[in-house]
A and B are shown apart, each in its own frame.
Chain A
Amino acid sequence: MSIVEHHIDLAAPRISEAGVADYIALLKPRVMSLVIFTALVGLVMAPGHVHPVLAFTSILCIAVGAGASGALNMWYEGDIDAKMSRTANRPIPRGRVTEPEALAFGMTLAFFSVMTLGILVNWYAGGLLAFTIFFYVVIYTMLLKRWTAQNIVIGGAAGALPPVVAWVAATGSLSVEPILLFLIIFFWTPPHFWALALFRNDDYARAGVPMLPVVAGPDATRLQILLYTIVLVAIAVAPWPLGYFDAVYGAASLILGAGMLVLAINVYRRREGAEASRATRKLFAFSIFYLFALFATLLLEVVVRAVAPWIW
């Protein structure tokens, strides 16, 4: 059963009325903003000087690549999106953009983002961006999402790669720091999306997506959220004692990590009624702030060191 129904007269040629706003919606702008931010952090943390034009080009290509992934994801998931209240307003289920149009749009953006990054910056970064798009669209969207409850755990790798792509764009090589950034986002993804899945359980069940709460039940999901949050907090703090990030980051990761842990414990303990729903929504909202604040601390550190090195 679909939440939205649209009927197209097959006898008449279909002429698109899709506007620019519909195509922008295909890019998943909110996801893209997080990608831009994490990639920016990866870029500014990279050692050495990157010319601002090349830095801008790198971030633009990564952003467009993320947008391409979003469009290709919506192309493939039109049937699922129509069944979920959260996604029923997307351009394809609403009938504003057809699936072939979304496919063409996504493929064009993917091609240009990868080729531009490769030609103008370096081919390591271009190749890694191509792999990221491939991983998100083929591995996550086409293979994992409808097949296993571990979909967002493995698929989370695609969302964790943008800072690595940016680092490689800036340096032409890989190092421990971008891998740490990758691990933080990778382990952040399960508690974030499972919190969402807990209060959108009916949506996912209706669409037949085997999210953990649908397959294993809410209680097993609450335990998994808590376990992944413990691992996340440990991994996020670790770069400080290991000497990769400094004490200000260490303090921020401890305070923010404590917040995540308290909220995850709350989700684990409160299992019934409005309190349970409130706890999962709080964790979901705070997890976004957590990642943003953690990366903002790293960004701030680099900026302050460059502008006023005596402060930091």
Chain B
Amino acid sequence: MDDKQEPKSVKEGIVLTEAQKKSRRERSIAIALALGVLVVLFFAVTMVKGPGVLVRPM
């Protein structure tokens, strides 16, 4: 295909609008926060249970 006839989205890849960039950034921050909470939660419970952390029913 002639380069001049190629659609813009194919030539430049997908170009995000400002709204799409903003919402993607929002979602990324939310995922990071959720992962952070999970890490803190596992750390805190490990501290609370001490060596007994591996002793669980079943």
Contacts and interface: CB of A to CB of B under 8 A. Distances in A.
Interface of A: 12-13, 15-20, 23, 51, 53-54, 57, 60, 112, 116, 119-120, 122-124, 172
B48 A53 contact: yes
B36 interface: no
A122 B23 contact: no
Contacts, number: 49
Interface of B: 9, 14, 16, 19-20, 22-24, 26-27, 30, 38, 41-42, 44-45, 48, 56-58
B40 to A, nearest CB: 10
A175 B51 CA distance: 29
Contacts of B27: 16, 18-20, 23
B19 A17 contact: yes
B20 A120 contact: no
A60 B41 contact: yes
Contacts of A57: 41, 45
The residue in B9, B22, B48 that gathers the most chain A C-beta atoms within 10 A of its C-beta is B48
B57 A123 contact: yes
A124 B56 CA distance: 10
A48 to B, nearest CB: 14
Contacts of A13: 9, 14
B30 A120 contact: no
A49 to B, nearest CB: 12
- In order of increasing CB-CB distance, the 10 nearest A-B pairs are A123-B58, A120-B45, A53-B48, A122-B57, A17-B23, A20-B30, A19-B23, A53-B44, A15-B20, A20-B26
7 contacts: A13-B14, A15-B16, A17-B19, A20-B30, A53-B48, A116-B41, A122-B58
A120 B41 contact: yes
Contacts of B16: 15
B57 A51 contact: no
